[in-house]
Amino acid sequence: MEKIKIENVSKIFGRHINQALKLVEQNKSKTEILKQTGATIGVYNANFTVNEGEIFVIMGLSGSGKSTLVRLLNRLIEPTSGNIYIDGENISKMNKKQLINVRREKMSMVFQNFGLFPHRTVLANTEFGLEIRGISKEERRLKAEKALNNAGLLPYKDQLPGQLSGGMQQRVGLARALANDPDILLMDEAFSALDPLIRKDMQDELLDLQQKVRKTIIFITHDLNEALRIGDRIALMKDGEIIQIGTGEEILTNPANDYVRTFLEDVDRSKVLTVENAMIRPISLNIDIDGPKVALQRMREEEVSVLLAVNKLREFKGYITADDALEASKKGENSVINYVRTDMPIVPPEMYIQDVLGIISDSKTPLAVVQEEKLVGVLIRGVVIEALSSSDENEGVTENVSIS
């Protein structure tokens, strides 16, 4: 269902706005307008719709107008022309009181630098939206504590934001937005100020959260990898114009123009691909039950010289080579437990290929992919190189998009 609809929305900064607007209506180019009137175009004739429950990513470099565009949605910046509909209601025509009500009930915003009030505790920050709405003290405390609890931050509720790390602060920012229970979340470069590892965690958390709460999310970012990871659909902006809208796959496989193409070249495949995308099915041996004869039989069957050793809970224990299995068999042993080698490196499935490259080139053996101690796959050098080189066909990347 259609949640947000943007129709011919433009934002012009500077003087001679009316004159500039007329030129916009005549479909004059931005540079032409700047030359004739001196007005700068923030957003130029934007059109799109966002469906309910969708993560819609607006992506562009700095100065492309993406932050302006998201602020037009809740009218923190007044649109110069055009219509913005939320649930069919025209936001751009609302009076102050109606607008305040929409802001209070329909949408909450998460900010790049968290936008937390330094003089309020974490709890008081989380309560802010409810407090503004005039909800009773007990009720807002209950809701805010619930939101903090979901973010795992309840123990910190009496601290000031300045005492928390960046990642935790942004969790508070998100909890504050969710405590309000809005239909729409506006996230303006919400994770851009966080360091890469934390950022990735937050992206995962957002996706998990989205599974549960199904909000309509407008997510602003300048990071294509982030856009591909979390966006159901992506709008690419340049100089205030939206130049392409589509799923990550559509944009990657069918860039609208040269600008999009050059933008996409910045995507480092090794940064987008994770171990999970490149790993293959492990050929394993249950060392609690199987002996050397079974091991040798399986190696013949699968045409490999190494088996991964797991116990009956499928927990990773090491690996067995064909030579060792043969020796155990000659000695007439019933178990291979004493022949299990443990020098195989372990990587988690969500690790980026980029970070694995160093490990895999140093290792004599393939890498075991282990999640919560259980063996889930194996990473072989040849497959990794294949995955990276398949960038020409964009296969690896699109595959990743569909997974995430």
Partner 1 sequence: MSQFLDFIPKIPVADSVEDAMDLLTDTFAGFFDVIKKSGKFSMEFVTDFLVMIPPVLFILIIAAIAFFATKRKFGLAIFSIVGLLFIYNQGLWEELMNTITLVLFSSVIAVIIGIPLGILMSKSKVAETIIQPLLDFMQTMPGFVYLIPAVAFFGIGVVPGVFASIIFALPPVVRFTNLGIRQVPKELVEAADSYGSTGWQKLYKVELPIARPTIMAGVNQTVLLSLSMVVIASMIGAPGLGRNVLSALQQAKVGNGFVAGISLVILAIIVDRLTQSFNKKRQ
Which residues are near partner 1 by CB under 8 A?
Answer: 71, 74, 76, 100-105, 107-109, 111-113, 115-119, 128-129, 131-133, 180, 186
State which residue, 88 or 134, has the beta carbon closest to partner 1.
134
Residues 148, 157 contacting (CB under 8 angstroms):
yes
Considering beta carbons, is residue 108 or 277 the nearer one to partner 1? 108
How many Å apart are CA 288 and CA 291, to the nearest integer?
8
Nearest to 239 by CA among 58, 73, 43, 72: 43
CB nearer to partner 1: give 74 or 284: 74
Q: Which of 116/375 has CB closer to partner 1? A: 116
Pick between residue 29 and residue 121 the one whose CB is nearest to partner 1.
121
Answer yes or no: are the C-beta atoms of 202 and 180 closer than 8 Å: no
Q: Are 168 and 156 in contact (CB under 8 A)?
A: yes
Least CB distance to partner 1 at residue 320 (A): 58
Q: Beta strands 216-221 and 184-188: pairing type?
A: parallel
Give 157 or 176: the residue with its C-beta nearer to partner 1.
176
Task: Tell me the longest C-alpha to C-alpha distance in the chain.
Answer: 93
Measured from the CB of residue 69, what is the shortest distance to partner 1 in angstroms?
Answer: 15
Spatial distance between the Cα atoms of 354 and 388, rounded to a whole number of angstroms: 10
Cβ closer to partner 1: 89 or 266? 89
Find out whether 111 and 125 touch, Cβ atoms under 8 Å.
no
- Smaller CB separation from partner 1, 131 or 399: 131
Q: How far is the CB of 107 from partner 1 (least distance, A)?
A: 8
| Cα–Cα distance, 109 to 185 (Å, whole number) | 6
| Least distance in angstroms from the C-beta of 399 to partner 1 | 37
DSSP secondary structure code for residue 113 in this structure: T
Please name the residue ranges forming H helices in 223-352.
224-230, 248-253, 258-265, 269-272, 275-278, 292-302, 322-330
Separation in Å, CA 379 to CA 21, 270, 275: 57, 14, 7
Structural contact between residues 88 and 165, judged by C-beta atoms closer than 8 angstroms: no
Nearest distance in Å: CB 173, partner 1: 9
Least CB distance to partner 1 at residue 115 (A): 4
Measured from the CB atom, the residue of 130 and 320 that comes closer to partner 1 is: 130
DSSP 334: S
Least distance in angstroms from the C-beta of 186 to partner 1:
7
Instruction: Give me 195's structure tokens.
Output: 């360091």
The secondary structure element, H or E, covering residue 12 is strand 2-13
Indicate the pairing of strand 55-60 with strand 233-238. Answer: parallel
Integer distance in angstroms from the first to the last C-alpha of the chain?
Answer: 23
Least distance in Å: CB of 252 to partner 1? 33
Q: Where are the beta strands (DSSP E) in 131-277?
A: 184-188, 216-221, 233-238, 241-246
Closest distance of CB 78 from partner 1, Å: 12
Nearer to partner 1, 102 or 375 (CB): 102
From the CB of 105, what's the least distance to partner 1, in Å?
8
> What is the nearest approach in angstroms of partner 1 to the Cβ of residue 102?
8
- The rounded distance, in Å, linking the Cα atoms of 316 and 119 is 49
Measured from the CB atom, the residue of 11 and 103 that comes closer to partner 1 is 103
User: How big is the chain, counted in residues?
Assistant: 404
